[in-house]
């Protein structure tokens, strides 16, 4: 059992490393460098969310809610390769989101998980790799962190996305 658990954990970490952060050209890479600029944030578990948190059934619903809140988004594109989200029965999407004029500094992701437990297992993996995300019941918006400019923009944008979706910032 211990070998199976260790193997599963290693596979989950490897899968997250491949999907946690994407560069604009679509090559997947993980940002494993710690950032001194990141201050400790509230990391509320998905099942500790406020009772009034909204439920989203698709990546399009999330992108539409962000657009309704005044953010600029691109149409979510489903990722077809193998990744952690797919391995747990969910679906990962790439898109861009920004609240400023011009181009978003990097690609973001919308992860639709099959259940709250799968999302809850993903959160510490994302945090371990320096990810910045906003989570809800079975979804996560993973913001770009592959460069200092992306990280700075994502740290600023995360609370805006959280407010628009009534989600929780995880970092």
pTM listed for this prediction: 0.70
pLDDT digits (tens, 9 = 90+) for 80-139: 988 999 999 999 999 999 987 767 778 999 999 999 999 999 999 999 999 999 999 999
Task: Compare 19 and 140 and report the one with higher pLDDT.
Answer: 140
**Per-residue pLDDT tens over the stretch 35-58:** 223 323 333 444 444 455 567 999
Measured at the CA of 169, the angle between CA 104 and CA 13, to 5 degrees, comes to: 85
Q: Do residues 66 and 165 touch, judged by C-beta distance below 8 A?
A: yes
Distance from C-alpha of 126 to C-alpha of 62, rounded to nearest angstrom: 20
């Amino acid at each position: 059992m211990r070998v199976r658990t260790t193997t599963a954990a290693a596979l989950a970490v490897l899968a997250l490393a491949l999907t946690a952060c994407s560069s604009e050209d679509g090559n997947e890479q993980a940002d494993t460098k710690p950032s001194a600029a990141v201050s400790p944030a509230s990391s509320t578990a998905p099942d500790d969310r406020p009772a009034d948190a909204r439920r989203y059934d698709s990546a399009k619903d999330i992108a539409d809610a962000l657009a309704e809140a005044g953010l600029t988004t691109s149409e979510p594109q489903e990722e077809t390769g193998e990744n952690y989200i797919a391995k747990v029965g969910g679906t990962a999407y790439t898109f861009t989101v920004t609240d400023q004029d011009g181009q978003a500094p990097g690609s973001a992701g919308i992860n639709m998980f099959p259940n709250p437990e799968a999302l809850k297992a993903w959160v510490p993996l994302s945090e371990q790799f320096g990810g910045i995300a906003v989570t809800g019941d079975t979804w996560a918006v993973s913001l770009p962190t592959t460069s200092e400019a992306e990280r700075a923009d994502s740290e600023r944008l995360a609370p805006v996305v959280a407010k628009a979706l009534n989600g929780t910032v995880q970092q």
